[in-house]
Structure 1
Amino acid sequence: MSGTVEAQRVSLPGAGLRLAADRWATREAGPDPKGVVVLLHGGGQTRHSWRRTGERLAVDGWVAYSVDLRGHGDSDWSADGDYGMEVMIADLRELVAHIRRVEPQVPLTLVGASLGGKVSLIAVGEDPALAEALVLVDIAVRVERKGAGRVKAFMQGAPEGFGSLEEAAAAVSAYNPHRSRTGSLDGLRKNLRLRDGRWHWHWDPAMMRLDRPADEDVDSAMSEAIYARSRAASRQIRQPVLLVRGVQSDVISDAGVAEMRELIGHISVVDVREAGHMVAGDDNDIFTANLLTYLDEALQPSAKE
């Protein structure tokens, strides 16, 4: 499909609040889209982490929605500080129901990274009608405690903000040293907000419990209760599932991948060798190429029936 790619800012319903999103599609009228792809970021990120993927999906004939999870980016913050799994799943159900009303009669795929993937995995396993396919980006039923703790430590690392964008970039590089730094800070700027002369991550601090050490435990999305729920949900999934793992990630191990193969016998797994936990950001070209190939193979037959 050819045409000019256009990003439109949209507002989606969540469970009692509004969620900000970008809708990526080609502007010119043409054939019906191949389907809808809903992109859900990881904890502490925003919808902007999917920009390049959203553009390429639209060029290839898909409609893509990149969504800010509650408490992230331009989405509403929870009035009662609730960022647990149950309310995240409720948000997902609400936004998918809305998208299906405005994008009818095409298959819908959920692509979730880290926290967004964990929410999607459980939601699809517990409600098979939610999506026609699922793509998990460096997330599995079992995550490594050390890697998850490092993510939490990073999110807790600057409660007073940063004195400059360069200072924030240095913190990102310290967490993710194998990713090449670019000279531009424009992408990073979208994940920060200037407040009282300092740059703060653009998410609600209430998501993190800053009163206890990062290595004492991991957040509720990675707890043993969520682990058990994830296992039960995974066994119920019949839709096509792709797991994209960053080989350099310390969040998903070989044992974690093996468990996913046991729970979801039809799962496909792709390793991205030069990527860590933030796969789409570390090697977006390879990630998106694998995603496009998988979507065509997994969904186009059903779309033509």
Structure 2
Amino acid sequence: MAARYFIGMHGTRLAADVGGDAAAPPVILMHGGGQTRHAWANAFDELVAHGYHVISLDTRGHGQSDWAVDGDYSVQAQVGDLRMVIATLDEKPALVGASMGGVTSLIGLGADPELARALVLVDVAPRLEIEGIERIVAFMRSHADGFASLEEAAAAVTRYNPARPRPASPDGLRKNLRLAADGRYRWHWDPRFMDADPIAATRELSRQMLAAAERIRIPTLLVRGRLSNVISRESVAQLQRHIPHLEVADIEGAGHMVAGDNNDAFNASILAFLNRTMKQAH
């Protein structure tokens, strides 16, 4: 599928897969940090097949989207991008955000509670377990010099997430890697994305997310990987105190990368939620 492009803040081009009837209920998929829109490939197909108009975005600096000229990858810039994509739609969408995408969605709704009709947070909440965040950051900052082959990259992913079965072929990683002029494969995101102090940034984002949660009135689902080291039971309980109508789906056998770890269960949970919240009034 060829990418379509939206224009975000300061003219930043945002690549996206777009599918389904444009008159159908819209759903925007926002991936996690260091990922690309292809992380949603199966969920995208399922949502389109079930009658949704789906936009799966490459966040600024990721995948085929533009790298920020000024290196601005703040949540404010990402919220600005999201608002500009939503402005192209005829009706309010559901927002489905994994990790970083969930942070953007929640903080965006905190600033404008009418921005969307429903919210799905995928393994993200205001309380983020620092040990899990540190492990993600360490992986993302490793291999700055890239990989000699797809097989080498696949081996690195397996070491990071040994619980997930290693695919028979590493070819699926091509969409997440770019082949540089020196012949080495590097992750498909701007390295400046990792310039900020991750722990200080996490604490500030947690504060902003908690304030935003107080303003959420739309239907909200938290999908948590039961094996997650980023979102704990205490994280869930805290968010439920601030969003009393919050629904929670624990996905068996899944860690932080919920959709990739148990895609069938993930798809079933978000479809059940969206079918109740998006289609009944459509």
TM-score (norm 1): 0.88
Aligned mate of 1:240, from 215, 219, 222: 219
CA distance in 1, matches of 2:74, 2:200: 9
One of 35, 46, 52 as aligned partner of 1:56: 46
Local SS of the residue matching 1:302: coil
How far 1:184 moved relative to its partner?
2.2
Q: Is the 8 A contact 2:220 2:246 kept in 1?
A: yes
Quote the residue 2:4 is aligned against: 10
> 1:110 and 1:118 mapped to 2: Cα distance?
11
Contact 1:112 1:135 in 2 (8 A): yes
Decide which of 49, 53, 56 is 1:66's aligned counterpart.
56
Given candidates 15, 37, 48, the residue that maps to 1:20 is 15
Give the corresponding residue for 1:287: 266
Say yes or no: does 1:159 pair with 2:144: yes
1:219, distance to aligned residue in structure 2 (A): 6.4
* Counterpart position of 2:236: 257
Partner residue of 1:208?
194
Return the offset for 1:301. Answer: 2.5
SS at structure 1 position matched to 2:114? helix
| Alignment CA distance shift 1:8-1:56 (3 Å) | farther
Q: Distance in 1 between matches of 2:204 and 2:228?
A: 23
| 1:213 equivalent in structure 2 | none
> In the alignment, is the contact (CA less than 8 A) between 2:137 and 2:198 conserved in 1?
no
Partner of 1:97: 87
Q: 1:229: how far off? A: 1.4
User: Take 2:15 and 2:5, find their aligned partners in 1: how far apart are those partners?
Assistant: 5
Query: Hey, what's the Cα distance between the residues in 2 that align with 1:299 and 1:266?
Result: 16
What are the residue-to-residue correspondences of 1:113-152 with 2, within 5 Å? Answer: 113-152=98-137
Matched-pair contact (CA < 8 Å) for 1:8–1:24: no
Asked whether the 8 Å contact 2:252–2:262 carries over to 1, the reply is: no
The RMSD of aligned alpha carbons is 1.5
Deviations 1:70-108 (A, max 9, x none): 00000000111111111111111111112x1xxx24x51
Say if 2:60 is the partner of 1:40.
no
Deviation of 1:225 (Å): 2.3
Change (3 A) 1:291 1:8: farther
The code of the aligned residue for 1:91 comes to D
Using the TM superposition, give the Cα deviation of residue 217 of structure 1 relative to its aligned residue in structure 2, in angstroms. 4.5
Letter of the structure 2 residue corresponding to residue 83 of structure 1: Y
Greater shift after overlay, 65-74 or 293-302? 293-302
8 Å contact kept, 2:148–2:185: yes
* 3-state SS of 2:230 partner: coil
Instruction: Tell me by how many angstroms 1:9 deviates.
Output: 2.3
* 1:298 shift after superposition: 1.8
Cα distance between partner residues in 2 of 1:163 and 1:236: 48
| One-letter amino acid matched to 1:218 | I
Q: Distance in 2 between matches of 1:179 and 1:233?
A: 33
Q: Does 1:297 align with 2:276?
A: yes
Once residues 86 and 246 of structure 2 are traced to their aligned partners in structure 1, the CA distance between those partners, rounded to angstroms, is: 23
TM-score (norm. length: structure 2):
0.96
> Quick check: 155-164 or 224-233, which moved more?
224-233
Q: CA offsets per residue over residues 103-132 of structure 1, 9 Å max, x none?
A: x24x51000000000110110121122100
Alignment correspondent of 2:208:
229
Letter in 1 for 2:20: A
